[in-house]
Amino acid sequence: MLSRRSVLTGLALLPVVARAAESYAIEPEQIAEGIWMVRGADAPIQPDNGGAIANIAIVDTPAGTVLIDCGPSLRYGLALKRVAEGLTGKPVIRVYVTHLHPDHGFGLGAFDPTRAAALPGTIAAIEAQGQGFSDAMYRILGDWMRGTDLLLPRVALTAGQEDFGGRTLRLMALSGHSSADLALLDEQTGLLIAGDLVFHDRAPSTPTADLLAWCASLDRLAALDHGALLPGHGPLDPGGTAAIAQTRDWLAWLDATLTDAIAAGLDMVEAGMLPIPDRFAGLAAARYELQRSVSHFYPELEAQLLPRVDRPD
């Protein structure tokens, strides 16, 4: 007969025994000749998605496999490497990190560090802010992050192009979503891999954004001769223009709305509860990102827009 204590002990042990480490489902979808995307969840970074919210691109080149971004954790990076190399039958020879955010570049530990490349501004930003992002990721994701160290891409890129045995990727050094944002154009298919400069049916996030610079970068992407567009978050845009227009529309609305909210005397709480126009009804995480953006921009905007009142009359 079981004693009460042994039953209790057994119950306490059960969850530990039953819980194996969770794994990422990496399911590439072909979006152009020799290019696959791994779709991220259109959601905030949460334990139920392991932080796998960013879109990743796998490019098959004659010289080897090229990855654009590598996911949120070591575990993701390892799974991505296995799936990508299985798909192309070639080793990964280049990993681009489009910008500093952890959902895009924290899988680097799975790859040869001398193959990891980013804009100099991105490398500097990861060096300065990466530890804070890493702490936040461990706090939110727990075991998903096990073994994930903060690593810097070793190759500093300049705008131009890289040739991989005949398949050429054009590199564009832009900014606005962060201080340095890399966008890539596959010359062979015209596919534009926009990183987080473009969101699609998912509200843009702004923790490191400069809205003016971001809009200028979107203008450059819109003027570029390209085909389909892979956004950093959200579904592929086959026409290549809708997602750019939608991102620009949201950013312009956000800017005007926050400015108006301050002119109307609203507090941050009230600004975060403002109605979101119907045309954004299809954007995932819209309320969440509006409230985050209020936090990112409001104090500084108030300091600009409210007059000084501490002078004697």
Partner 1 sequence: MKAMVALLLALIAAPAQAAQDYPADPLGSPMWRAHAQILFGDDPVRFDARVKVEFPAIAEDQRAFPVAIDARGIPGVRRMLLFADLNPIPVALDYRPIHAAPYVATRIKLDQRTPVRGAVQLTDGQWLVSGGWIDAAGGGCSTPPVSRVKGDWADHLGEIRGRAWPQQNGARLRLGFRHPMDTGLVANIATYHLDHLAVKDSDGRLLAEMDMWASVAEDPALTLMPDAPAGGRLLVEARDTNGRDYVARIDVARQSPIPARP
Find the binder of partner 1 among 27, 29, 135, 249 (CB under 8 A): 135
Find the binder of partner 1 among 124, 156, 274, 284 (CB under 8 A): 274
Q: Is 92 in the site for partner 1 (CB under 8 A)?
A: no
Residue type, position 255, single letter: D
DSSP state of 48: T
Q: 217 or 293: whose CB is closer to partner 1?
A: 293
Residue type, position 193, single letter: I
Q: Which of residues 195-214 bind partner 1 (CB under 8 A)?
A: 207
Q: 82 or 287: whose CB is closer to partner 1?
A: 287
Q: Is 275 in the site for partner 1 (CB under 8 A)?
A: yes
Shortest distance (Å) from residue 255 CB to partner 1: 12
**Nearby residues of 263 by Cβ (< 8 Å), 6 or more positions away:** 305
Q: Which among 264, 266, 263, 270 has a CA at the least distance from the CA of 290?
A: 270
Give the burial string for 262-293 (b: 16+ CB within 10 Å, else e): beeebebeebbebebeeeeeebbbbeebbebb
Shortest distance (Å) from residue 283 CB to partner 1: 15
Distance in angstroms (rounded) separating the CA atoms of residues 96 and 94: 6
Secondary structure class of 57 (helix, strand, coil): strand
Neighbour count for residue 216 (Cβ, 10 Å): 13
Q: 164 or 253: whose CB is closer to partner 1?
A: 253
Give the burial string for 174-192 (b: 16+ CB within 10 Å, else e): bbbbbbbbbbbbbebbebb
**Stretch of 29-37, 77-85, 224-232, 302-310 contacting partner 1, by CB under 8 A:** 302-310
Site string for partner 1, 239-258 (x = CB under 8 A): -----------------xx-
For residue 212, report the phi and psi dihedrals to the nearest 5 degrees. Answer: -65, -50
Q: Is 280 in the site for partner 1 (CB under 8 A)?
A: no
For residue 196, report the phi and psi dihedrals to the nearest 5 degrees. Answer: -85, 10
Q: Is 22 in the site for partner 1 (CB under 8 A)?
A: no
**Stretch of 64-72, 169-177, 194-202, 303-311 contacting partner 1, by CB under 8 A:** 303-311
Q: 26 or 254: whose CB is closer to partner 1?
A: 254
Shortest distance (Å) from residue 1 CB to partner 1: 36
Q: 85 or 302: whose CB is closer to partner 1?
A: 302
**Stretch of 57-65, 101-109, 153-161, 289-297 contacting partner 1, by CB under 8 A:** 289-297
Q: Is the four-CA dihedral 185, 213, 204, 46 of positive or negative sign?
A: positive
Size of residue set near partner 1 by CB under 8 A: 41
Find out whether 269 and 290 touch, Cβ atoms under 8 Å.
no
Residue ranges that bind partner 1, judged by CB under 8 A: 44, 135-136, 139, 207, 256-257, 260-261, 263-277, 287-288, 291-292, 294-296, 299, 302-303, 306-310, 312-313
